[in-house]
Chain A
Amino acid sequence: MSNKINIVQAVQQALYNEMTLDETVVVYGQDVGVEGGVFRATVGLQKAFGSERIFDTPLSESAIVGSAVGMAINGFKPVVEIQFMGFIYPAVNQIVSHVSRYRNRTRGERHLPMVIRAPYGGGIRALELHSESTEAMFAHIPGLKVVIPSTPYDTKGLLISAIRDPDPVLFLEPKRIYRAFRQKVPEDAYTLPIGKAKIVKEGEDITVVTWGAMVPDVQKAVSTIDDISVEIIDLRTISPMDRETIVESVQKTGRILVVHEAAKSFGAGAEIVSVVNEKAFLSLEAPPTRLTGFDTIFPLPRGEKHYLPTPERIAKKIREIAAY
């Protein structure tokens, strides 16, 4: 059985499937219970599973994440929601100091099967701190995994993997494309491997690595280009990064462009460029390049259109690199 669903529905289905299969899975966060989530990602779950297994919390990100640490230690698999990625910062102490460290601190004696979900990314004409994409800050933390899907199918499979993972996963959902398109997705539970990138389109001349809501933009850009054979890689897991897929691709194409939403400097693109340098230096025919958000705060809506790399800018950059 399969059904045509969008990304936010895929989140809901993954939660539904796992809560059905595993009664230690609990879901909580602000407005996820009665209301079903501000993006409706948890709609219907409280009716299905009751308010013991999916419930609303006080407005306390740090306690949401910290209590999940405790629940995970005591036999549950909590999946907690941070309403927007811009509100994860009050929980950073928990994430850096505990979530990512429990296994190492106890030499493997205790580990935390928990997921922190948060909608991330810009382009939805929102207020301040509703457009953030600071995945690089979290990818730098040893002991944490950072996953970002870009399709309904991947969202469901990766979220289920994240829930079943014995270790903590930060699961960032590309809210700009939450409802952008639908895809046929199996109704039953299935998993996709965390730590594996996906080749969205094979090509010979240049590799474009991207993730999240930028994937369709890159696809759009590439669809306007006939004369260059572009390979598109959807990274899917930011950390641990699938270096193999990237490096093999660049060994073939000799050229690479990284496209992401976040600010350029010290962003995740820098790591990809470095990996390519370290592993495919002699294959490089042009400088590995980043096309990203600016080193600025995400502008409020009336300036927002300038911030995100557009298909036009992506296409132009691809042409420049190909012509190098």
Chain B
Amino acid sequence: MELLLASAVGIMTACGVYLMLRQRTFPVILGLTLVTYAVNVFLFASGRLAQNLPPVLNPEATAYSDPLPQALVLTAIVIAFGMTAVVVMIALSAYLSARDDRIDMSEDDTYDDEQTADHVDNAEDGA
């Protein structure tokens, strides 16, 4: 069982990492999702595996699985969800604004300075 889980973690990590190294934002996000799965399972397994010993107290139970990693993974899942949502949104906005969903930027693909544009807007606002 442990071997199955470990190999699943490994495969998910490997596939996720491969996708994270692609050049477009969307596959990178998919890769992140896979890696997130992998790490959640990893963190979960750090409390060791147990079958049918849910950490819900009841008088008949003789043992429980480790509740702490479960709580941690729960937090981690939620946080990862928030992060994914944000990165999806930023990637989408970047694509819509730049019409390019490449994840790599070259130093001079838009050389004109956007910081200036910010302030031009600002100045106009003020005027």
- Bound pair (A, B): no
